[in-house]
Amino acid sequence: MSEPAIPEVTWTRKDLVGIADLSVEEIELILDTADSFQEVSQRSIKKVPTLRGKTVLNLFFEPSTRTRSSFELAEKRLSADALNFSGSGSALSKGESLIDTARNLEAMAPDLVIIRHQHPGVPHMLAQRLESGVINAGDGAHEHPTQALLDAFTIRQHKGRLAGLAVTIVGDIEHSRVVRSNIHLLVKMGAQVTVAGPRTMMPAAVEKLGVRVSYDLDEALTDADVVMMLRVQLERHGQSLFPSTREYFQLFGLTQARLAQAKDDAIVMHPGPMNRGVEISSAVADGKTSVILEQVANGVAVRMAVLYLLSLAQQGDG
């Protein structure tokens, strides 16, 4: 169980609550560190002692299969002790305030807290109040930083760079935390980002985030290096944002024919879970250009890197 070769680090952040406040150097450091950890996942014994004796709380107030499993696997491969705490059946569902939950967690003195919550800002709130490091695993429609990092990691593997790439993100832009984190990351790293989707799912003033907005899928796909499709929910809180899945697929569903507008070596991504036949055809999802399963695999390495860097920042604090 040899330690992976980890790059020289200067990481000082206690928390990872979003991409918005990260520097280019910090993003590169995480991606480079993930490179090293990916090697661990390729060994026959996929475990290193890096976080032995550290306690990680996985606090999921919203259902999650893939992000949660990915974090758990990352924790196990780093030899951390993981404790799972989910929204249903937890104190919060019994009416305890989030602040009281936070105080109770604090008393257990975990080293790191992974938090997924339906309300934007909850990871920030915990980060301000807990001495533990806090990692945002998705807060409402705000941020999902480790998803954007694993997406960038995957793009870098295929394209060798992020700067100068044309990335098109398609779907329900308004309600997607994946989009916001990806926009922040890709714009910082010098990619050209286009967001496309129905006008009823486009957030106000999104162009102020440094992206181009398109309401025409064919136009948006033209000469793209990377196409990122989002999961679409046609109904939210009983409000219909689109008439039907059939009509959605006609306007914004990604098919082989439409993908032809993109560059020949374009890759297709999806954060999952996919709605086949709604936002993406099975032919594209399972096709040669799809890197969707690689994203999942890379997620573990990226989350190992983040866990490792945050635990480093805590050393010395006692």
Partner 1 sequence: MASGVKQGSGMKQGGGMRQGGGMRHIVRGGRVVDPSQGIDARLDLLIEDGRVARLAEHLDSIPGVEETDASGLVVTPGLIDIHVHLREPGFEYKETVESGLRSAAAGGFTAVACMANTQPVNDHRAITELILNQARLHPYARVYPIGAVSKGLAGQELAEIGDMVKAGVVAISDDGLPVMNAALMRRALLYAQHYEVPVIQHAEDLDLTGDGVMHEGEWSTRLGLPGIPGVAEDVMVARDLLLSADTAGRYHVAHLSTGRSLAMVREAKRRGVAATCEVSPHHLLLTDQEVATSGFSTAMKMKPPLRDRSDVEALIAGLQDGTVDAIASDHAPHHPDEKDVQFSVAPFGILGLETTVSLCLDRLVGGGILELSRLVHLLSTGPASVLGLPGGSLAPGEVADITLLDLEREVTVNADAFGSMSRNTPFDGWQLRGAAVGTLLDGQPVLDG
What are the residues binding partner 1 (CB under 8 A)? 20, 97-99, 117, 119-122, 124-125, 128, 139-143, 174, 177, 180, 203-206, 208-209, 237, 239
Q: How far is the C-alpha of 60 from the C-alpha of 117, rounded, in Å?
A: 7
**Residue (of 247, 306, 245, 292) closest to 80 by Cα position:** 306
Comparing CB distances to partner 1, the nearer of 241 and 312 is 241
Distance from chain centroid for Cα 207:
21
Which residue, 61 or 308, is less far from partner 1 as judged by CB?
Answer: 61
Q: Which is nearer to partner 1, 211 or 280 (CB)?
A: 211
- Judged by beta carbon, residue 85 or residue 249, the one nearer partner 1 is 85
Kindly state the smallest distance separating residue 18's Cβ from partner 1, in Å.
10
* Integer Cα distance of 71 and 51 in angstroms: 13
Cβ closest to partner 1, residue 156 vs residue 177:
177
Nearest to 151, CA basis, from 207, 191, 198, 206: 191
Q: How far is the CB of 98 from partner 1 (least distance, A)?
A: 6
Q: Which residues, including other chains, have CB under 8 Å from residue 297's CB and lie 6 or more apart?
A: 41
Distance of closest approach, residue 208 Cβ to partner 1, in angstroms: 4
- 26: which 2 tokens? 């910090």
Q: Shortest Cβ distance from residue 116 to partner 1 (Å)?
A: 13
At residue 96, φ and ψ (nearest 5 deg) are -70, 140
Nearer CB in complex with partner 1: 75/143: 143
**Rounded Cα–Cα distance for residues 289 and 227 (Å):** 10
φ, ψ at 83 (rounded to 5°): -125, 130
Q: What is the Cα–Cα distance from 40 to 101, expressed in whole angstroms?
A: 35
**Do 82 and 75 touch, CB atoms closer than 8 A?**
yes
At its nearest, how many Å lie between partner 1 and the CB of residue 171?
15
Smallest gap from Cβ 206 to partner 1, in A, equals 5
